[in-house]
Structures are given as structure tokens and as C-alpha cells.
Structure 1
Amino acid sequence: METNWQHRVDAVWSAADELGDDEVIRRIDALAAERPDGDPVALFERAGARDSAGREAEAEPLYRAALDHGLAGSLRVQAQIQLASTIRNLGRPIESIALLDAVEGEAGDLHDAVVAFRALAYASAGDARRAASDALIALAPHLPRYRVSVAAYAAELAASA
């Protein structure tokens, strides 16, 4: 049941561009209704559907409910990242930064996403130097050349921010 349900959720997301925002929300809500009340994964999917539709004010309480109801593992990290992005879009970049800082140590392969969204939050908070520094620090290890130089310049930016 669990695998089939997730496959059906994934199918909605795969067709999201063709379906449009309202239909994605309708279908995700219908699938979520198949799960028990308070199911953290269902709440997370409902939040994501609203978030991707630009309905951040509707998404925020659903992300919080998913986290409060025990969303675990990489989905919890994804929810923290998406909630932080939502909060930034709602005009609260400092709160967004705090959420991202709290999850950074356990982000694993989502670490660069945490850094990217935190850089956006710093930019929204008016700290463009810190935003650029964080983004460059995350980017530097992926460069085939100039890795050391970019990391040094990024550290210099952070020191002067």
C-alpha cells in the first residue's frame, strides 16, 4: 500500500506541469485523504502542492504540522528546507535562516540546497555579501579548477560582511 500510494503521488508530481496548480492540489489532497489524519507524509505532500502553487500562507501550517507529527529522515530535511523557503517568501528571512541553520548538520546530500536557500534568505534580509559568500563556499568544492581561490575569496567576503 505504502509503495503504491507514493507511486501515485510521484505520478501527480511528474504530470504537474500539464495538470496545473489547482489540479495538483486537488489530486494530492485526494491522495492525502487516503492516509490517517495527521499522517506526516500526507501533510508534507499537501504543503508541497500549495507551496509549488505559490500559496505559501496555506503551505506553512501544513509543513509545521508534518514536522510536528514526526516527519522523519530526508523528508524531514526537505520539509525544513521548503518551510524555510516558504517563510522567506512570506517576508521572514531571519526565521528562514534559523530553520536552515538548524537542519544543516543533518542535511546530507541536501546540504547544498540548504546553503542555496540560506543564501537567498540572506539576500532577502539585505546581506548580499553573506549570501554571495555562502553560495561560493558551497560551490567551490564542485569546481574542477580555482577551487582554492574561490573558497578564499568567499571567506574574504564573509569576513567583511
Structure 2
Amino acid sequence: MTDDWHSRVAALWDDETVSDDERIALMDRLAAERPAGEARALFERAGARDAAGREAEAEPLYRAALEAGLDDDHRPQAVIQLASTLRNLDRPDEAMRMLRAELDRDPVSPLRDEAAAFLALCLVSAGDAREAASVALTTLAPHLTRYRRSVASYAAELRADGA
């Protein structure tokens, strides 16, 4: 049942013919198949609303999913998605605190770069473009085939000049 449920959730996300309203309704129906308050079901309901631009509806569902205890694969996704939602709700400072805590929590997280990308977006929203560029360049530098050291150094310089 669980594997089938996860497959149906994935199929719903992959279906580009479904409208935002239909996706929300279908996701709510899928979530209703799970025990009340189940973290993953709450997370999927939040994501459907978030994807539809209904951030105010998504926020409490993300918070409930995190409170209910998401697994290690979905917890960082929920943190990143909630932080993005908060940024869109004009609360970049709260989003930045969440993302920094996430980055500190797991230095080797497979979603570390994604969290840093959203932190950079939050920094821009908060009016700190220098720090945003520093975060983005620091994250990018290890992926470069050349000039890694130079880019990392410039990123540090941006951070120091902004302090």
C-alpha cells in the first residue's frame, strides 16, 4: 500500500495535464488515505498548494509536516520549501534563519547546494545582494572545472567587504 501510495503521489507530480486546483484536490484525496497527521501526507499537501502559488495555505501544512517528523529525505526538502514560501510571503529573515540552521545541521546534506541557493534568494529579498552573491559563488566554486580557488576567494572577499 505504501509503495503504491508513493507511486501515485509521484505520478500526480509528473502529470503536466493536471491544473493547480485539480492537483490540490487529488493530493488531498491521496493524503486522506494516510493516517491523520502523517508527516509525508502533510508535506505533499503543502507542496501542492505551494506549487499553485498558495503560499499562505502551504505554510501551516509544511510546519505540521516538520512537527510530525518527516524522514531524512523529505525533512530538508520541507525546510527549503517552507523557507521559499516564507520568502514569497515577504518574511525573508525567518526564511534565512531556517536555511542557515539547515546548513549548520547537516554539512554534507545532498540538498546543501539547494539550501544555499534559496538562502541567496532570501538575502537578495532582504536587500543584501553582496552576501547573496558570496553565498552563491561559495556554493558554485567547488563545481567549477577551472578557477575554483579564485571564485572562492572572491566570494570570501565579498563577504568580508559587506561585513
Query: CA shift at 1:71, angstroms?
Result: 1.3
1:150 matched residue in structure 2 = 151
Specify which structure has the higher proportion of helix: 1
1:53 equivalenced with 2:56 (yes/no): no
**Counterpart amino acid of residue 3 in structure 2:** T
Residue 156 of structure 1 aligns to a residue whose secondary structure is: helix
Query: CA shift at 1:19, angstroms?
Result: 0.7
| TM-score calculated relative to the size of structure 1 | 0.97
Aligned identity (percent) is 60
| TM-score calculated relative to the size of structure 2 | 0.96
1:20 matched residue in structure 2 = 19
1:122 matched residue in structure 2 = 123
How many residue pairs end up in the alignment? Answer: 160
Query: CA shift at 1:72, angstroms?
Result: 2.3
1:103 matched residue in structure 2 = 102
Deviates more, 1:89-98 or 1:64-73: 64-73
Root-mean-square deviation over aligned CA pairs: 0.8
**Structure 1: tracts of 5 or more residues without a match:** none
Query: CA shift at 1:91, angstroms?
Result: 0.3
Query: CA shift at 1:155, angstroms?
Result: 0.4
Task: State the distance in 1 between where 2:88 and 2:134 align.
Answer: 21
**Counterpart amino acid of residue 7 in structure 1:** S
Deviations 1:17-51 (A, max 9, x none): 21111111111111000001101000000000000
4+ residue segments displaced more than 6 Å: none
Residue 73 of structure 2 aligns to a residue whose secondary structure is: helix
Deviations 1:101-140 (A, max 9, x none): 1111326110000000000000000000000000000000
Task: State the distance in 2 between where 1:146 and 1:70 align.
Answer: 41
**Counterpart amino acid of residue 148 in structure 1:** R
Task: State the distance in 1 between where 2:10 and 2:73 align.
Answer: 16
Task: State the distance in 2 between where 1:131 and 1:29 align.
Answer: 36
